[in-house]
């Protein structure tokens, strides 16, 4: 919140209206029902976006999604990253759609088994 517009009455009103209109995080999966606590510009002010856009120019985000977006966006500077976003949903699936795990498909083909690989129980470790 380094920009002085975030301290104005106009921004505080706009933020309140957006969170009232869209109370759930728009970046989380729809079934997660995560409450939004941050309002983010779709087009950053630093990229020429309007300081006070209409509601369609704003997104309601939870803290986690807002932090991830800010850390990876153009305003992040040197800490930008292409690494997958950490975290998973209730079923254990990665939150990041670009996560390599999501490209794996369970199908009829399985990787060949290595006959030399075996599981070792704690009782069999020492002999």
122 in any annotated domain = no
Please list the rounded mean pLDDT of every run of 10 residues in the chain (127 residues): 81 95 91 91 86 94 85 55 63 74 61 58 56
Phi then psi for residue 53, to 5 deg, are -75, 175
Judge whether 66 lies within some domain: yes
Residues contacting 106, CB < 8 A, separation 6+: none
Bridge partner residues of 41 (DSSP) = 58
Q: Is residue 56 assigned to a domain?
A: yes
CA-to-CA separations, 16 to 27, 32, 55, 82, in angstroms, rounded? 18, 22, 11, 32
Domain contains 62? yes
What pLDDT does residue 44 have? 84
Domain that includes residue 40, residue range: 1-74
**Whole-structure pTM value:** 0.57
Domain count, the chain: 1
Q: With respect to residue 96, please indicate whether it lies within any of the assigned structural domains.
A: no
Q: What is the predicted pLDDT for the residue at 78?
A: 40
* Domain assignment present for 65: yes
What H or E segment, with its residue span, contains residue 32?
none
Residue 82 counted as domain residue:
no
pLDDT given for residue 77 in this prediction: 46
Beta-sheet strands, E only, within the chain: 38-41, 58-61
């Amino acid at each position: 919140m380094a920009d002085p517009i975030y301290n104005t009455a106009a921004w505080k009103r706009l933020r309140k209206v957006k969170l009232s209109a869209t109370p759930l995080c728009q970046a989380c999966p729809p079934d997660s029902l995560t409450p939004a606590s941050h309002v983010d510009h779709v087009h950053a002010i630093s990229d020429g976006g309007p300081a006070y856009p209409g509601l369609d120019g704003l997104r309601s985000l939870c803290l986690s999604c807002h932090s991830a977006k800010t850390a990876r966006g153009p305003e992040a500077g040197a800490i930008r990253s292409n690494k997958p976003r950490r975290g998973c949903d209730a079923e254990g699936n990665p939150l990041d759609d670009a996560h390599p795990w999501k490209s794996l498909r369970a199908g009829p083909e399985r990787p060949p088994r290595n006959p030399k690989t075996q599981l070792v129980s704690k009782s069999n470790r020492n002999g």
